[in-house]
Amino acid sequence: MDSGRDFLTLHGPGLPSGRHTVPGQAQRAAGALRNVMQCLGVRRRSRSQSRSRELYLQEQSLEVAVLNEQRLGLQDDKDLQALLKGSQLLKVKSNSWRRERFYKLQEDCKTIWQESRKVMRTPESQLFSIEDIQEVRMGHRSEGLEKFARDVPEDRCFSIVFKDQRNTLDLIAPSPTDAQHWVQGLRKIVHHSGSMDQQQKLRHWIHSCLRKADKNKDNKMNFKELQNFLKELNIQVDDSYARKIFRECDHSQTDSLEDEEIETFYKILTHRKEIDLTFKEAAGSGETLSVDQLVIFLQHQQREEAAGPALALSLIERYEPSETAKARRQMTKDGFLMYLLSADGSAFDRAHRRVYQDMGQPLSHYLVSSSHNTYLLEDQLTGPSSTEAYIRALCKGCRCLELDCWDGPNQEPVIYHGYTFTSKILFCDVLRAIRDYAFKASPYPVILSLENHCSLEQQRVMAQHLHTLLGPMLLDRPLDRVTTSLPSPEQLKGKILLKGKKLGGLFLPGGEGSPEATVVSDEDEAAEMEDEAVRRQVQHKSTEDKLTLAKELSDMVIYCKSVHFLGFPSPGTRGQAFYEMASFSENRALRLLQESGNSFVRHNVSHLSRIYPAGWRTDSSNYSPVEMWNGGCQIVALNFQTPGPEMDVYQGRFQDNGACGSSQGSNCQKSTRIRIQLWTPR
């Protein structure tokens, strides 16, 4: 007898899991399995029926993929075809964790499916969207691959970096060709997805959600699948109302929706009455907008005073979906909606998406995008530190980064949040990340704010790494003819500046015969943290808070010498030198603004001021930057890893001026003669 017929291994309710059964038991077990499948609603198909359905689904998937390739403008692209086919890749998490997993681009050309061996993992958690990808890096360009895959050639390694706080996905391909397919294919999709117009994005998005909701994969939607579709879109609607719209859109009378019927259903369901009202006010009694009516709308409602017929015609050409309306030089309601949803319809001036401000003023006249404890990915006490945090900040246009430096093993300085349980990363690894990404998003200067707790020996190691790894990027001497005020962002293009303690003045680093080290006062933000465990650690410090500073490191600090703030100077007395700057906690800064607002503003005309979060914000929460900006403070440091209203305002402010990370402040930052009345909410 053929043992394959008589000895079965069956699993299911009421069955002996994983046991081999004798022939009689096999028959009873098979009958039990059929009953279980019937209870679960699983119908048995003939082999020919199953094969026919399989071929049908393959054909449907191919049609969907071809349609989405066309929408992306990537028909017959070899890299895209390789991703649609999928491949086995090694996923890397640590030195001891490398697992082979299958990865495949879905037919929507918008999501990646990744194999998972986790028992309880849901199907949705095995997908990630192309829209969530920040960048795709080739080689050992992530912290994980740098540490755990040095034995693998770079041309087989790549990393997928996400926009949110998700961990970077580190992968090893079986060959350099496979790696190139994935890297180039993903980069193309990300690029082309960003260049799709609103109509294409809408159809692509609807189609993606449809694929997830379409349980039987027939590219049609019955009402139950439609309810899943609405959940996928996060739309809550009464079932009876949804059923009514469903019937209205079912023109084929098949009790299901497909293609344009689904798009029509979505448009009706998400219809916005305020858009109708705005369009009616602009169009009057007509069904479309004429060129003249569109010009009036642009001038009066959109406040584009320079708008004329040429701009109106270009908008009709760009956003009007109806060829008939285009030919008549008119805009329908659909075209009007597409315009409002576009960059042209945004309140943000498109001209400000490039650098348009005068970048030749002293650095103190600009707000500088700044990060607090840049190395942290989560909270201030136990969270992980990562070089990836520096890369993310720089890619967002951040121009001032913080490095908390401590003695590490093997004479290699490390960066972490002192006196806490945050993890440690090497100072040299951070410098490599900064070197590679400092000027990707902006050409304007980057300031490295050093909080130095290292011994003399390891400070010299720091200086050596700064010199070797940053090379000519590092500003290590004053610029010619810049002796009375801070240089401008334009003069400092492509340069990295150090902020830290310094021996002597701008032109007096010590010279020949000067001491190799000098004792200076220490600055330690961790000492202000309101956490009991941290406070106990800080109490072990010397009461004088002194630091022995190495001359090699001191000499690299030029225009950003850290000093303690001793108060605003009286008339006729000398205050801080222009190259000296102080740091203030948010509480102290607010107190100064309330008590000595005009003095603080005048001080900030010629000096840089750095503000950092209060010590009680151990959860990495943020304060409002607006009050600090109103007082002329330039380097207002926030926790970039924490999303929320404060970071929304921050990123919105620095979206201006080409998102270059440096943006001119108010007029009060340019003149000491301006008096202002500051108001700070209590």
Residue numbers in the known binding site are 91-118, 373, 402, 404, 451, 499, 501, 583, 610
Cα gap 142→552, rounded to integer Å: 30
C-beta separation of 172 from 198 below 8 A = no
Active site residue 465: no
Residues 6 or more apart whose Cβ sits within 8 Å of residue 336: 275, 279, 282, 289, 319
Known binding site for substrate: residues?
91-118, 499, 501, 583, 610
C-beta separation of 387 from 401 below 8 A = no
Task: Take residue 327 and report the two structure tokens written for it.
Answer: 């030919």
Cα gap 273→475, rounded to integer Å: 57
Cα gap 291→297, rounded to integer Å: 10
HSE, side-chain direction, 13 A CA sphere, residue 24: 0
DSSP 8-state symbol, 168 = P
Residue from 235, 231, 228 nearest 257 by CA: 228
Instruction: Please pick, among 372, 465, 603, 607, the residue that the annotation labels catalytic.
Output: 372
**Strand 560-562 versus strand 580-585 pairing type:** parallel
Task: Take residue 162 and report the two structure tokens written for it.
Answer: 């996400």
C-beta separation of 568 from 596 below 8 A = yes
Active site residue 372: yes
Q: How far is CA 135 from CA 32, 171, 191, 616, 654, in A?
A: 51, 14, 10, 34, 21
3-class secondary-structure state, position 361: coil
C-beta separation of 73 from 192 below 8 A = yes
Cα gap 227→144, rounded to integer Å: 41
Residue from 181, 138, 177 nearest 160 by CA: 138
Burial 55-70 (b: 16+ CB within 10 A, else e): eeeeeebeebbebbbe
Residue from 262, 271, 269 nearest 222 by CA: 262
Instruction: Please pick, among 417, 453, 603, 607, the residue that the annotation labels catalytic.
Output: 417
Known binding site for Ca(2+): residues?
373, 402, 404, 451
Which ranges in 171-328 belong to alpha helices (H)? 176-194, 198-213, 223-232, 239-249, 260-269, 273-283, 291-300, 309-319, 323-327
Residue 255 gets the label, from left (phi > 0), alpha (psi -120 to 50) or beta, of left
**Residues taking part in catalysis:** 372, 417
